[in-house]
Amino acid sequence: MTDFLQKFALNGKVAWVTGASYGLGFAYAEAFASVGAKIVFNDIKQELVDRGLEAYKKKGIEAYGAVCDVTNEEQVQAFVKDVEEKIGTIDILVNNAGIIKRIPMVEMELKDWNAVINIDLTGPFICSKAVLPSMIKKGSGKIINACSMMSEFGRETVSAYAAAKGGLKMLTRNICSEYGQYNIQCNAIGPGYIATPQTAPLRAKQEDGSMHPFDRFIRSKTPAQRWGRTEDLQGLAVFLASEASDFINGQVVYIDGGISAYIGQDPSNLDASKFQEEEEEQI
């Protein structure tokens, strides 16, 4: 059993998670560190990098962080060179950095469209391009893209985000197609709706004690009848970063509690009282 479990170990591997000062990126990095990886991360502002460094320190994780804009190719190349000199060759890249702008398509300005596409799609292209030469030379590497349920589905007000995440799904497959011959695997994680501080207002009870309409909607569409937790994503992230997934390539795995396989139920059928304890726990 010990030899088998070693396939999931990341001892000594250098893992770069973009935008990992907090949130899902931090959760991925924390999971990698727990199985032996060396963590490096970037963010767009120094205050965010400092916030991340402090958070990793509190968890007992030694991490290297620096300011780097994933949409700026010169900055990305310089960041990768710096990491290679100070920490080592990057073995694992998680293209986590991303934004969303919830604007009806006919009201969205081109600058807003471009901002989402640049960060959510062009950024992963630039970062992957920067690490691939060393991975090719080394004969191994793992790239994990942060896709979304919007890689498969449309939804009102998220045209740019859905377009970017759909494009990221195909970039995942194309990296697999071009570089699988070098023992490089590129896969993606597609999170469903995750309970984080950012989504807490959507899960909070209303003044009259009723469920938030969006909370009721999500639970009615999810067989698990709950929101995901950050720890629900960590096992897959470690698996896709490890030797255990060496023959899995070009795949998008959705962690959504079954929402993408389910037509849903009438939201009015949900018993709000049974979700009270979980709601309080997650907020």
Catalytic positions, written as ranges: 161
Upper half-sphere CA count for residue 53 (Cβ side, 13 Å): 12
Reduced to 3 DSSP states, what percent helix, strand and coil does the chain have, rounded to the nearest 5? 55, 15, 35
C-alpha to C-alpha distance for 51 and 48, rounded to whole angstroms: 5
Phi, psi of 237 (to 5 degrees): -60, -45
Q: Is 244 exposed, middle or buried (0-12, 13-18, 19+ CB in 10 A)?
A: middle
User: Taking phi first (over 0 means left), then psi (-120 to 50 degrees means alpha), and beta for anything else, what does residue 36 get?
Assistant: left
Q: For residue 17, give Cα distances in angstroms to 11, 41, 98, 283.
A: 16, 5, 12, 25
In angstroms, what CA-CA distances link 219 with 37, 169, 170, 180, 259? Answer: 35, 26, 29, 38, 9
* Tokens representing residue 240 in the block: 């896709």
